[in-house]
Structure 1
Amino acid sequence: MSNAHTHGHADEGAHGSLTSYTIGFLLSLVLTGLSFGAVMSGAVPHAMILPTIVGLAVVQLLVQLVLFLHLGSAPSQRSNSVIFLLTAALIAILVAGSLWVMHNANENMMPMQMSAEHAMARE
């Protein structure tokens, strides 16, 4: 009976510890505070606010993927990492394809030299 109990928890290494969750939480708070401070304090030049926020958002995404979702290159984490990467690729393909279709529809639906009023007058 005890063998079945310990067998169910054989992959506990794939889960984070309280320390890793605490570090991830604190890093997320610090990165959020830095983003807020970059906008509110005026310490970052106006032209650099957007790149600063995007950079801090990417760092926070990486912190959360590694410390909360446990994505990495360890053998116990590879399947989660592959699934995440394939999902991200699928979303990128869907978004890019949708933007391409909308762009082509916009370019090909009405000629630029014809205004809406002129098109209505032709009917």
Structure 2
Amino acid sequence: MALHDAKLASNTDGHASSTHNSDDAHGDVKSYIIGFILSVVLTAIPFTLVINGDLSKVTTIWSVVTLGLVQIWVHLKYFLHLNFVTEEGRANTFSFLFSALIIFMVVGLSVWIIYESNAMMMY
């Protein structure tokens, strides 16, 4: 305990042992601008496809879904900075994937339970 108190006393901001660098997992202005431009383009294209109606309904749906998945990747890379390059990036990526898995399981299993309950009550 004395060693911990001495370490805190010698450090006024409480982060002496932190290895966090201000540039580690944060993007610069250039990456934010690239992400913003890609997001705008990936939003405008589906709107244009739907408004014009030039493609068939199935092709439009697949195009919108594909561009939506690409936009999710852009947000994860450029705004949430999820990557496998740094140790912190790997930890953030695995935390995100674990959270997504838990949310998917909770929502999916809840829908399944509600559906099955409804089916049992109808018959």
- Tell me the TM-score range normalised by the shorter chain: 0.7 to 0.9
Q: Pick the aligned partner of 1:14 from 14, 25, 32.
A: 25
Counterpart in the other structure of 1:40: 51
Amino acid corresponding to residue 113 of structure 2 in structure 1: V
Deviations 1:82-113 (A, max 9, x none): 110011000110111111111211121131xx
Deviation at 1:79, TM superposition (A): 1.3
Paired residues in the alignment total: 108
In structure 2, the residue matched to 1:79 is: 91
Find the aligned partners of 1:45 and 1:105 in 2 and give their Cα distance. Answer: 38
Q: Which residue of the partner structure matches residue 96 of structure 1?
A: 108
- Distance in 1 between the 2:97 and 2:91 partners? 10
Q: CA deviation at 1:11?
A: 4.2
- 2:68 aligned residue: 57
CA distance, structure 1, for counterparts of residue 19 and residue 113 of structure 2: 49
Structure 1 residue 9: Cα displacement:
6.3
Report how far residue 13 of structure 1 moved.
Answer: 2.5
Write the distance in 1 (CA, Å) between the matches of 2:20 and 2:58: 51
- Show structure 1 runs of 4+ deviating over 6 A: none
Q: Mark the structure with the bigger radius of gyration.
A: 1
Identity %: 36
Question: Which letter does structure 1 place at the counterpart of 2:41?
Answer: V
Match of 1:70 in 2: 81
Task: Please give the TM-score of this superposition, normalised by the length of structure 2.
Answer: 0.79
Q: Which moved more, 1:74-83 or 1:18-27?
A: 74-83
Q: CA RMSD in A?
A: 2.2
| TM-score between both structures, scaled by the size of structure 1 | 0.79
- Amino acid of the structure 2 residue aligned with 1:19: K
1:44 Cα deviation after fit: 2.1
* Equivalent position amino acid for 1:69 in 2: L
Unaligned runs of 5+ in 1: 112-123
